[in-house]
A = this chain, B = another copy of it.
Amino acid sequence: MQENNFRVNPHSLKTAISRVETDKIVTRGYNQRDLIDKIRYSDMVFLLLRGRLPSLQEGKIFNHVLVSFCDHGATPPSTQTARLVASSGSPLNSAVAGALLSFGHKHAGAIEKTMELFQSKIGSTYSTGDSSIDNKQIASSAIEIYSDYILKGKKIPGFGHRYHNIDPRADELMNIVIKQGFVGPHIKLALALEDLVYEKKKIRLNVDGANAAILSDLGFTPDLGLGVFIIGRIPGIIAHIHEENMDEEEFRRFCDLDDIIYDAGR
């Protein structure tokens, strides 16, 4: 049938991820037998997302990133949704799906927005190769962001945390990248910006802001930020669902009947 003004999408699919043959699976050019035998799981994640294996240093840094996303207790909306769905008797995969649906722009959008902000500034910087000149440009970018946001009363993505003055994950990550000499232009920008923001607002980088800078220096584009966060966080969410399922309690609820105010005038 001729379709009107729409390109017909045939059944065929082109993919660069895996080639499946009888008795053989090749992923990103590597035989899965070799990957299963030799590769760290965090390097496998990097390979899948980026199409190449990380260098030794990249692999170490990416491992820190994944661990840092693992869990923030039962406080995030996604974890609460997971436990709420599980408490209704739905299977584990449905409860994980529920958690994912709570990664809305208010909850999980920060990492992508921060990566876009940092990459737009660094991407428009002309790198001279002379570090004193480049550092000066980065310092200027930090001041620009500070002016665009803080001086105009806007929240900067990647800064501040509901429960922490110093987000221990962000702080530890920054210590690690400095100690390991992995400080690219995006991390420099994040640190310069933190100095300005802290002085004025007493607010520091949070885990999203720190990882946005690190992932940017690792070469990740913003559209993979949420994906990396999901990969890091899913194991924690599954631990919460499993704990919930061990529990005998009836439904969870964020409010009971007595907490609900009927206000017809709304």
Give A contacts to B, CB under 8 Å: 1, 3-9, 11-20, 22-29, 31-33, 35-37, 39-42, 44-45, 48-49, 63-64, 66-68, 70-75, 77-78, 80-81, 83-98, 100-109, 160-169, 171-173, 176, 203, 223-224, 226-227, 230-232, 234-236, 238-243, 245, 249-266
Contact = CB atoms under 8 A, between A and B. Distances in A.
B169 A71 contact: no
Given A88-B107, A224-B242, 14 more contacts: A4-B162, A5-B160, A6-B250, A13-B254, A14-B261, A15-B263, A16-B265, A25-B73, A39-B67, A74-B255, A89-B107, A97-B101, A231-B235, A243-B266
14 contacts: A1-B258, A11-B255, A13-B74, A15-B262, A17-B71, A23-B165, A40-B40, A41-B42, A41-B232, A85-B102, A92-B226, A94-B94, A94-B97, A227-B242
A106 B77 contact: no
A67 B254 contact: no
B223 A242 contact: yes
Contacts of A14: 260-261, 263, 266
A106 B88 contact: yes
> Oligomeric state, in number of copies?
4
Nearest to A31: B168
Given A73-B20, A249-B9, A261-B15, A32 B68 contact: yes
B107 A101 contact: no
Given A4-B165, A102-B90, A260-B13, A230 B240 contact: no
Contacts of A104: 85-86, 88-91, 94
